[in-house]
Amino acid sequence: MSVEGLKAKIKQLEEELAVQKSINAQNAPAREKIAQMSSEVVDSNPYSRLMALKRMGIVDNYERIRELSVAVVGVGGVGSVTAEMLTRCGIGKLVLFDYDKVELANMNRLFFQPHQAGLSKVAAAAYTLRDINPDVEIETHNYNITTIENFNHFMERIQKGSLSGGPVDLVLSCVDNFEARMAINTACNELNQIWFESGVAENAVSGHIQLIIPGETACFACAPPLVVASNIDEKTLKREGVCAASLPTTMGIVAGFLVQNTLKFLLKFGQTTHYLGYSALTDFFPTMQLKPNPACDDSFCLERQKEFAAKPKPEVVEVSPVVEEVVHEDNEWGISLVDETPADAVEVTQSKPVGLAHGVDVAYELPAAESGSSGPTVQDTDISLEQLMAQMKKI
Amino acid sequence: MVDDSTRKTLSCIPLLKTKAGPREKDLWVQRLKEEYQALIQYVQNNKTADNDWFRLESNEQGTRWFGKCWYIHNLLKYEFDVEFDIPVTYPATAPEIALPELDGKTAKMYRGGKICLTDHFKPLWARNVPKFGIAHAMALGLGPWLAVEIPDLIEKGVIQYKEKSDV
C-alpha cells in the first residue's frame, strides 16, 4: 500500500475511532448537573440562549420551566421528538409512557438510532435524553395504558408524577391510535387534567394538535375524530397492502407545533392554540375553538362542563377581525362564484361539532341517538357467567 | 361498505344491551354475560351454516381473550392463535384483535400482530355502541381480514400448511 493509501486509511480509522469514543462517552453523562439556570452568555452554558428569551422580553420567567413536569404518552415519531425538544428546553421532569420497541422500520423518523433497535422505546429515549440534558428527571413506564391492569397506574402517575408529587402540569398525547387517545381522554376527564392531543394522519400528509381543557373545550369523545382535509380524493388513496405511511417532516412539524404551544401554555407567553391543523399538500393551517358537546358520551366530561359553567368567567374583550369583502372594480364578463355543493351533500347531523373550521371535518358521522343496527338483542338470562363460560368452552 | 354475506351474518348475532366497560365492576359482569350469549349464538350459527371458524375464551374477569381461528383454503385448514385485551374504554372503542404468529409477515398489521381493519370498521362500530360486542368484532373485523389476507399469504408462500391435531 502506498504512503498516500496508508494516510487515507489512518484518517478513516481515526474518524471511526472518534465516533466509537463518542458512543462510549454515552456511558457517562457529558456534563455534570447544573443546579441553577444561568443567563450568562458563555459557550459552556447550555441555557444561555433560552434565558435570552427573558432579556428579549418574550418570556417573563424562563427558569420556571425547571419546576414543571410533563407526561408524554407515546414515544414514537412525534413523542420522541417532543421529549427531546422539552429536554433541550430544560423541562423539570418528563414522564414517558410507551409499550413498543425500537425497530429499524422507525428509522424514517427522527430521534431513534439503528443501534437502539430492540430496546424499549422508553428506555432508549431515557438514555439519549439524560445524555442530552442530565438536569431533566425522567420517569419511564413500558406498558400499554389501555389495559385494565395498567390504566389505574397510568392515572396515578398523571395525578402524582410531578416533581412535587402532585399532578403533572400537562399531558401530551403522542399516540398513534384511537383506543389510546380515548384512554387518555377518560383519564384526563376524570382527573380534570389539561392535555394536548396530537396526531399525524396515516397518509403522512396532514396532522393536528388540540388543547383539551376538561369542561371548557371539546374533549376527545365530544365528537368523532377530527381530520384535516388533505385535498386527496379518498377513493384514489391506495391502501392496498399497507396500514400507515409516515414522514419525518410531518411528524417533526407536528412535534414542533406541540412543544411550541406547550411552552406558551406552561410559561404563559403568547396565545396557546386550541386547535391547529396542518395539511402538507396545500400548506394549509386551520385553527379553531371547539366547545364541549353537552351530550358527550363521557360522564366525567359532562361533570366538568357543569363545574366550568358554574365558575365565574373573566371578562374577555372580543376583538372581531375585520373581514374585507372582495370587490372587483369592473366585471366585464359578469363572472361570479357559484356554490357547486350539491344540495343533498349538505346534511345536518348532530355529531358534527359546532364551530368546525373550514378544511377540518369529522372522520365519520354518527346518527342521532338510538339508531344504528336494529335486530334481536340478547335475552335476559338466569344462567350465571360461569355457566356461560363453561358452555362456550364446550361447543 | 359491508358486503351482503357479512351483513347477513351480522344480523343473526344478537345485539347487546348493557353499556359497560371492565372498570365498572357490577355492570361489567352483566355485559360479559351478554358477550358470552352473543358469542355462543354466533358460533352456533356458524356451525349450523357449516362455517365454524373460531373459538374464544376469556380470563375470569373477561378482560383478556384468547383462542383459535382457522381458515380453509384448497381444502386445507390453516389455524392461528388469536388474542386481544378489552380496553378500559370498551365498548366505546372496539377490541384490537391480534394474530401474534403473523406479526411481521404482512403489512396489513400493526405491531404485535394487531390486524389492520378497513376504514369502514371504526365508523360502523362507533355507530353501534353499545350494541356491538366481541362477536360483532369477530364477524366484521377478523372474518373479512382472514378471507382477504390468508389466501394472499399462502400464495406468497409466507405461511405454509402445518399438520395439526384436530381441535
pLDDT digits (tens, 9 = 90+) for A113-130: 999 999 999 999 999 999
| Residue B11: other Cβ atoms inside 10 A | 12
Confidence at residue A388, expressed as pLDDT on a 0 to 100 scale: 92
Please indicate whether, in this complex, the C-beta atoms of B15 and A371 are within 8 angstroms of each other.
no
Written as nine digits, the cell of A155 is 392515572
ipTM, interface predicted TM-score of the complex: 0.88
* pLDDT value of position A378: 87
Q: Which of B7, B36, B41, B65 to mutate to test the interface with A (most CBs of A within 10 A)?
A: B36
Q: For chains A and B, what is the number of CB pairs under 8 angstroms?
A: 127
User: What residues form DSSP beta bridges with B64?
Assistant: B85
pTM of the model: 0.85
Q: Report the residue of chain A nearest B120, measured CA to CA.
A: A364
Separation of alpha carbons A225 and A176, rounded Å: 13
pLDDT, chain B, mean: 91
Residue A182 CA from chain centroid, whole number = 13
CB within 8 Å: A373 and B29: no
Beta carbons within 8 Å of A252's beta carbon, 6+ residues apart = A81, A110
Q: What is the pLDDT of residue A340?
A: 47
Active site residue A188: no
Chain-centroid distance of CA B119 in Å reads 16
Handedness of CA A194, A196, A229, B117 (dihedral sign): negative
Q: Do A363 and B123 touch (CB under 8 A)?
A: yes
Nearest to A289 by CA among A389, A218, A196: A218
- Which one, of A230, A237, A226, lies nearest residue A274 by Cα? A226
Q: What is the mean pLDDT of residues B1-21?
A: 87
Give residue A308's pLDDT: 97
Using an 8 Å CB-CB cutoff, list chain B residues near A388: 33, 36-37, 40
Query: A324 Cβ partners below 8 Å, 6+ apart?
Result: none
* More reliable by pLDDT, A352 or A212: A212
- The confidence band for B101, taking pLDDT boundaries of 50, 70 and 90, is very high
pLDDT at A87 > cutoff 50: yes
The dihedral sign for the CA sequence A123, A127, A132, A135: positive
Mutate to test the interface with A, among B88, B105, B109, B125 (most CBs of A within 10 A): B88
Alpha carbon distances (Å) from A281 to A207, A250, A361, B117, B150 = 11, 11, 17, 26, 35
Contacts of A363 in chain B (CB under 8 A): 122-123
Q: Find the CB nearest A392 among B57, B93, B123.
A: B57
pLDDT tens digits, one per residue of A221-255: 999 888 887 766 655 655 565 678 999 999 999 99
Question: How close A226 gets to chain B, by Cα (Å)?
Answer: 13
B143/chain A closest Cα distance in angstroms: 17
Distance from CA of A242 to the nearest CA of B (A): 5
Measured between CA atoms, how close is B75 to chain A, in angstroms?
A: 23
Q: Cα-flanking dihedrals φ and ψ of residue A188, to 5°? A: -70, -35
Rounded CA-CA distance A163/A92 in Å is: 7
Choose among A102, A128, A125: nearest CA to A114.
A102
pLDDT exceeds 70 at position A263: yes
Looking at residue A116, what DSSP letter applies? G
Report residue A54: phi and psi, to 5°: -70, -50
Among the listed residues B40, B49, B76, B116, the single catalytic one is B116
Contact of A198 with A207, CB cutoff 8 Å: yes
Average pLDDT over every residue of A330-354? 54
